Amino acid sequence: MEKNRRKNQAKLIRTFRKVHRTTGALLFVFFFFVSVTGLLLGWKKHSNGTILPKSYTGTSTDLKDWLPIDSLHTIACQTLHESVSEDLSLELERIDIRKDKGMVKFVFIDHFWGIQLDGATGKVLHIERRRSDFIENIHDGSILDYYFNTKGEYFKLVYTSIMGLALLLFTITGFWLWYGPKIMRRRSNG
């Protein structure tokens, strides 16, 4: 009985080793990208503006002093076309209002550009390349949705599901590859 149980445990460990090794080999490139982009995203606020642009400060934090959003939007669009390229789309990804800094960011979808404006005066505070957004899109797989212009983020959904399940599988098989032999040794010595 004990010999049979030991044999089954050894077989299970071999199976887990094979699953662990095969999954690692098949998903190596994806794990590489997830780890590198994860490191970059973790350090983005400490990159001196290289990865995540610095947020500049406007002249007033009181919203009643601010220009209307549509006026600020017009200035941002004009700035993008005049300072970066007339060929870029003016479609917005988002508008970040930073009341505490007196500043508003207009983040455009096309090629990851952003314009920071003083909320009160409309003065251009900064024209930024949104590297952190690009890196985040690589990290979560939505970069494929961006380039293939898919609605509903289906590439992201499939990618994050595969990577999440693979990480869970790696955790379980890795733990068993570490712990299984300990159990077998303990039982053979016990």
Domain count, the chain: 2
Please identify, among 107, 129, 151, the residue that sits at the C-terminal boundary of a domain: 129
Is residue 73 over pLDDT 70? yes
Give percent of the chain above pLDDT 90: 75
pLDDT band at 5 (very low <50, low <70, confident <90, very high): confident
| Residue range 169-186: mean pLDDT, rounded | 86
Query: How far, in whole angstroms, is CA 55 from its chain's centroid?
Result: 20
CA-CA distance, 112 to 133, in Å (whole number)? 7
pLDDT at residue 3, as a whole number:
76
Helix, strand or coil for residue 41? helix
Boundaries of domain holding 175 = 1-51+130-190
Same domain, 123 and 58: yes
Same domain, 99 and 150: no
CA-CA distance, 17 to 94, in Å (whole number)? 46
CA-CA distance, 166 to 103, in Å (whole number)? 42
The answer to which of 60-69, 113-122, 140-149 has the lowest mean pLDDT is 140-149
The residue with greater pLDDT, 170 or 119, is 119
- In what side-by-side order are the strands of the sheet with 103-108? 92-98, 103-108, 113-118, 124-129
pLDDT at residue 1, as a whole number:
66
Helix 28-42 to helix 154-189 angle (10° resolution) is 100
Same domain, 114 and 25: no
Beta bridge partners of 104: 97, 117
Please identify, among 113, 129, 145, the residue that sits at the C-terminal boundary of a domain: 129
